[in-house]
Amino acid sequence: MSDDRFYITTPIFYPNGVPHIGHAYTAVATDVLARFQRLDGKKVMFLTGTDEHGQKMQQTAEGEGIEPIELADRNSAVFRRMVEMLGCSNDDFIRTTEDRHREACQALWRRMEDNGDIYLDTYGGWYSVRQEAFFDEKETTLGEDGVRREPLGSPVEWVEEESYYFRLSAYGDKLLEHYRDNPDFIGPAERRNEVVSFVKGGLKDLSISRTTFDWGVPVPGNPDHVMYVWVDALTNYLTAAGYPDETDENWPFWPADVHIIGKDIIRFHAVYWPAFLMSAGVPLPQRVFAHGFLLNKGEKMSKSVGNVVDPFNLVEAYGRDQLRYFLMRETVFGQDGSYSHEAIVARINADLANDLGNLAQRSLSMIGKNCDAAVPKRGELTAADTAMLEQARGALREAREAMAHQRIHAALGTIFGAVSEANRYFAGQEPWALRKTDPDRMATVLWTTAETLRILAILAQPVIPEAAGKLLDLLAVPETERDFAHVDVAYELKAGVPLPKPQGVFPRFVEQDEAAGKGA
């Protein structure tokens, strides 16, 4: 939005299975971006949820001998627990089976219909009853027995089904014009290029209703049809903003500032969605940003390979903030990334335990012992002190610029680069050696270190909310002075404020067999 509102969304997840690390990745990234804007003074609406309709849901439920809504209830609850467990600060959790959502979908449909963009026709395709799915002719093979089969071997027959179509073919030029006039509409650049060339290739009208199953939003005026699940799913972003009620308190959040999605669903978000909105006369989102895929040791995760990782287990094994930090720091947001146990442990121990944790522990325990457990009194600052503080404060400007373009890794690089610099500063100033020779200077060095930690802890809150909060507690920073506005010198640490007893913020990750070995 143009005002101080900021609306950000994750994809809504299919609850036909349980969550995996890919879902956790997209949720954490969106949360980091949402928290950043909130700390930067914006009124944020952060939406996530579950996409509960469609044939896949209906089939999975049938396979389990339950109703689709039972499957949706059960797994949607697991997704909800996942986002909580990851520390996501979402303001709403939408389920597409809610009444508010059916109303929004039907309203959008009517507007597209009123605009002349929806027509009834016949959809023809090769249908497998066993698979309950249509196949493209090129996917099927005609056997010597004269029977045509789909790739898994079941026979297919030519079936014609009545279907509503959306006149997508009429929107090619308008979309290309929009991409041209709004170069930030799609990020990163690779995805933008991919979408532009897809649209330049020509768009066909889109079948947007089905009659062979009923687990969906009924088409207004023709309940024999349910809406194609993507029309239904994409509309969730409008539902949460109160659509079609433009007097809803959330409507001022629309258009969304950014939809965060995986690269697998860019076409739906950057082609179909804006075309639907143009047709319905609804303003388009400002930006769609597609991140890459997370690979397990370089391999694509799949149930058949058996390498799908449960996010609940990961948080239990490594810790919530540790996992969040790893996911956001290790890979360039927008490109594919890999993860492995070794990589997670290396990040935790190097960046969090050694750099941030140790610096906090060493400086705060020196203050505890030598400065009456209170914020030390600073004397005149040297060039080295000022340079350290300027680097920490400058990290806010750089992080702000990076986060505006979803360059989360770059923002963290800047903030944690300043943490490393603070370690060098502390080691170089040798406050322990000054204790006898120049206690005033020691106090100044410790003050500078503590003030640097205050600034960097404020900036690190979006990614490691719990640990950064604990560090700010140790620095006796009031809860009301933890926004980015408080990075300003006006809020610097005041001499004499009592500090609590220092505690570790980030323990080292110790392998279980190592820990067991030590204990033996």
Q: Smallest distance from the beta carbon of 78 to ligand ME8, in angstroms?
A: 12
At position 139, the amino acid (one-letter code) is E
Q: Smallest distance from the beta carbon of 404 to ligand ME8, in angstroms?
A: 20
Least Cα distance to 103 among 301, 284, 243, 2 occurs for 243
Q: Using only C-alpha atoms, what is the Rg of the chain?
A: 27
Q: Which residues of 212-238 are buried (b: 16+ CB within 10 A; e: fewer)?
A: ebebbbbbeeeeebbbbbbbbbbbbbb
**Given the rule CB under 6 A, which of 18-26, 188-196, 423-431, 492-500 is the region that contacts ligand ME8?**
18-26
**Given the rule CB under 6 A, which of 6-14, 32-40, 162-170, 493-501 is the region that contacts ligand ME8?**
6-14
Residues 253-292 that bind ligand ME8 (CB under 6 A): 261-262, 264-265
Residues 22-41 that bind ligand ME8 (CB under 6 A): 22-23, 25-26
Q: Smallest distance from the beta carbon of 295 to ligand ME8, in angstroms?
A: 7
Using CB under 6 A as the binding rule, whether residue 13 contacts ligand ME8 is answered as: yes
- Nearest residue to ligand ME8, using CB? 22
Residues 355-394 that bind ligand ME8 (CB under 6 A): none
Using CB under 6 A as the binding rule, whether residue 396 contacts ligand ME8 is answered as: no
How far is the C-alpha of 32 from the C-alpha of 403, rounded, in Å?
A: 9
**Given the rule CB under 6 A, which of 20-28, 325-333, 373-381, 388-396 is the region that contacts ligand ME8?**
20-28
Q: Smallest distance from the beta carbon of 5 to ligand ME8, in angstroms?
A: 21
Phi, psi of 325 (to 5 degrees): -60, -45
At position 253, the amino acid (one-letter code) is F
Kindly write out the interface string for residues 227-246 of this chain, putting x where it contacts ligand ME8 by CB under 6 A and - elsewhere: ------xx-x----------
CB nearer ligand ME8, residue 56 or residue 405: 56
Using CB under 6 A as the binding rule, whether residue 155 contacts ligand ME8 is answered as: no
Interface pick for ligand ME8 out of 6, 7, 8, 12 (rule CB under 6 A)? 12
Q: Smallest distance from the beta carbon of 400 to ligand ME8, in angstroms?
A: 24
Q: Quick one: 202 exposed, middle or buried, by C-beta within 10 A (0-12, 13-18, 19+)? A: exposed
CB nearer ligand ME8, residue 51 or residue 330: 51
How far is the C-alpha of 326 from the C-alpha of 346, rounded, in Å?
A: 9
How far is the C-alpha of 12 from the C-alpha of 175, rounded, in Å?
A: 24
How far is the C-alpha of 449 from the C-alpha of 429, rounded, in Å?
A: 10
Q: Give the number of C-alpha atoms closer than 13 A to the C-alpha of residue 123, restricted to the C-beta side.
A: 24
Interface pick for ligand ME8 out of 6, 7, 14, 243 (rule CB under 6 A)? 14
Distance of CA 361 to the CA centre of its chain: 31
Distance of CA 289 to the CA centre of its chain: 10
- Are 159 and 201 in contact, with CB atoms under 8 Å apart? no
Using CB under 6 A as the binding rule, whether residue 301 contacts ligand ME8 is answered as: yes
**Given the rule CB under 6 A, which of 10-18, 112-120, 376-384, 394-402 is the region that contacts ligand ME8?**
10-18
Using CB under 6 A as the binding rule, whether residue 293 contacts ligand ME8 is answered as: yes
- Using alpha carbons only, what angle is made at residue 110 by residues 109 and 116, rounded to the nearest 5 degrees? 95
Interface pick for ligand ME8 out of 32, 47, 294, 418 (rule CB under 6 A)? 294
Q: Smallest distance from the beta carbon of 513 to ligand ME8, in angstroms?
A: 29
- Count Cβ atoms below 10 Å from residue 438 Cβ, excluding itself: 14
Q: Which residues bind ligand ME8 (CB under 6 A)?
A: 11-14, 22-23, 25-26, 51, 233-234, 236, 261-262, 264-265, 293-294, 301
